Amino acid sequence: MKVLITGGTGFVGPHVVRAVAGAGHDLRLLVRDSTRSRELPGQPVVGEMTNTVSLQHAVEGVDEARATSSRLRKTRASNASS
C-alpha cells in the first residue's frame, strides 16, 4: 500500500514513518525541507499542508494518508475573572 505521511520530519513523525515502513508500506512524505528527510525511508515531496497544489501533488496515487503534522501558534490566555 502507498501511504502519504505529513509531518514526517517533525517530533512524532519519524517514529510513525519508521513504523509504517516497517509494516511493509511504500511511503511518500510531505515535507517542507527535503534535507530533513534524508535518513527516513520514503519519497519526499516538498510542499505545505496549507498549499492546495502541493497537497494535491502529494496525494496523487496514494491509498492512505496519515497526518502527524500540526500547526501550533502562540495564543494569549484570557483572564476569566475580568
Residue-level pLDDT at 10: 87
Tracing cell 502527524 back to the chain, one arrives at 68
| pLDDT score of 63 more than 50 | yes
Q: Is 1 exposed, middle or buried (0-12, 13-18, 19+ CB in 10 A)?
A: exposed
C-alpha cell read off for 73: 501558534
Within a domain: 81:
no
pTM: 0.79
Tracing cell 509494516 back to the chain, one arrives at 23
Within a domain: 31:
yes
Within a domain: 80:
no
| pLDDT score of 82 more than 50 | no
| pLDDT score of 48 more than 60 | yes
Residue 37 belongs to domain spanning: 9-45+63-69
Q: How many domains does the chain have?
A: 1
| DSSP code for 22 | H
